[in-house]
Structure 1
Amino acid sequence: MISSAPSRPKRLWAAAIINVLGAALSIVGVAYLLLSSNPNIPESLRPTGFTTLLALGTSGLLIVASALALLRVQFARWLMLAAALVFFGILAYQSLSILVSSGSSLPAAVAPKLWANVVRNTSEIVINAWALLSPKTAAFFSGSRPSQSFKADGSSAA
C-alpha cells in the first residue's frame, strides 16, 4: 500500500508568497537608497552599514526560510515563523515608534499611513502564525517524505 504525504497547504503558499514579496521589496528599497544618485534623497535617509546588513539579513533570511518551508525542511517551519516575527515586527515597531515619539508634531497626512503600516505588518505576522501553526501545516511537516531511491520499474525501493 502506498501512503501519500499530505499536500502542501494553500495557507503555507500564501504566507510564503507574502513573505517573499515583502522581503524582495525591502531588498529593492535598500538597493535603491544605496545606489541612487537622486539628489532629492537626503543623506539622512540613506542606510548605514549596520542598517543595510540588518535589512538585507532579515529579508534574506525570510526568503530562504519561506523557500525551505515550501520544500518541507523540518526546521524551516519554525525558522520561517521566527524570521517573519523579526522582519515584520521591526517594520511595525518602526512605524509605531515614529507615531509615539512624534506625537502631535507629525503632519496630519502621515499618521494614517503609519497606522496602516502597523496594521499591515501585524496582519502579516498573524497570517504567518495562522499558516505555520495550523493543524494542516503540522500534518504537512510531519508527513512522511517519499523515498528518494526508485527501482528501474518505478516502484519504491523499500
Structure 2
Amino acid sequence: MRRIPNPITHPSPNLRGVWYRDPLFKRYWRHYNSTLQWFQQHQRLMREIPRHSVEASSEVPVSDTEQDDSFEMPVTEDLIAFFEQSARHRKSLCSSKLEPEEEQNQPRRQEATSSSGALHHQRLYGATAGAAVRGMEVAMQLAFEHFADSHQAKHWPNIPLKL
C-alpha cells in the first residue's frame, strides 16, 4: 500500500506549489471534470428552456388566448339532488365517526357480581371455591382494565408479522 504524502508538510521536490497534480489525485480530478461537464451542460439546457417556451407561446392561435374569466355552468335538478345527497352522506359519516369515540370515552363497567357468572363458578368449583376463583378473576380483569386505561396500551404487537 502506498503512503499518501501530505503536500503541505512534505512537498515533493519536482511538484513544489502544484501538489494537486500528484498522480494520487488523478481519480479525484477525473470525477471532478465529469461533474463539471455535467453541470455546464445542465446550465446550458436551463438557459435554453425559456427560449423554447417563448417560441411555443408565440405559436398559440389568437382565439385560444382570449378567454372569458367568468364561467357559467348550467345548474340542473340532478346536480342539486347530487349535492344534497352528498351533504347528507357527509353528515352521516361525521356522526358515525363521533359515535365510536363517545363509546370509547365512556368506561365499560361489567357487574362483578353477576348471577350467571357466580352460578357458573359455583357449578365448576363448588360453593366456597367458586366465590374465591370468581374474586380472583374479577381482580385480574380490573387490574388489566386499570393498566389499559392508565397506559393506553396497544393490544397488538408493534412488530411486523413478516420479517
Q: What TM-score results when the alignment is normalised by the length of structure 1?
A: 0.24
User: Is the radius of gyration larger for structure 1 or structure 2?
Assistant: 2
Question: Which protein, 1 or 2, shows the higher relative CO under an 8 Å CA cutoff with sep ≥ 6?
Answer: 1
